[in-house]
Amino acid sequence: MEGVGFISVYQGAEKVTPIAVITGASSGIGAATAIALGRHGYRVVVGARRVERLERVAGEEGVALPLDVTDEQSVSDFVREVARRFGRIDVLVNNAGGALGLNPLEKAIDDEWIGMWKTNVLGLMWMTRACLPLLRKAKHGHIVNIGSIAGFETYRGGAGYTAVKHAVRAISKTLRLELNGEPIRVTEIAPGLVETEFSLVRFHGDRKAARAVYEGLKPLTADDIADCVLFAVTRPAHVDIDEIVVRPVAQATVWQVARKPSRKRA
């Protein structure tokens, strides 16, 4: 982010640098989004459990703070520190989330279900509730929720993950109703296949299983999703990008994907 000047927004008659908070920013979509917003002139505040990675993402101008969205106290401590330093939030990107396992419902593991609900749903709700007072102190606030096409489609073995991403979609729609009339925009980004650490986490570190998800096609990248976030948050204040659904060309639905046959060595 070196050499990039900050953009300015007006807070009354005063020019100020916009503050963007990104959760789950130590890797993948969260890291790419933080870097993209930082390069565009936002002062980024990044949160995740892996603080050593966060510091590289934040760079010299950003702020890296420890955050575990599954822990309400951690959320409270994080937001309190943001309030102390900046007094407001212009953009909140609720990115922290992920999938665990791919078992059919009858063989699902409770800890995986609970983990997905705490990260994708409760964490998002805790963060949003805690940040709303600071978003209201900005001239124009913006909440961006990173959802998934699993928020409106289903697939075998995905009951736990599709349930939480359907919940993210419901929360986003509810926020639009509750915040209607206030200068706070709500955007949901719903990606298809994106090659990040997502599948590696889902399969508990099994790299072979994770690689197989993306074989035979060109998946989206974290930068592709960061571009979508950047587009949404940089529209004129009266324009709300309600939702963006983005998939690789090879993906027609969450389960129907055109894959090129792998070349076997002789």
> Is residue 155 annotated as a catalytic residue, yes or no?
no
The long-range contacts involving 3-11, CB below 8 angstroms and separated by at least 24 positions, are: 4/38, 4/39, 4/40, 4/41, 5/41, 6/41, 6/42, 6/43, 6/61, 7/40, 7/41, 7/42, 8/41, 9/90, 9/138, 9/139, 9/140, 10/139, 11/88, 11/138, 11/139
Q: Can you state the angle between helices 123-135 and 159-178, rounded to 10 degrees?
A: 20
Q: Which of 32, 72, 47 is nearest to 198 (CA)?
A: 32
Exactly one of 10, 155, 161, 214 is catalytic; name it: 161
* Positions marked catalytic: 161
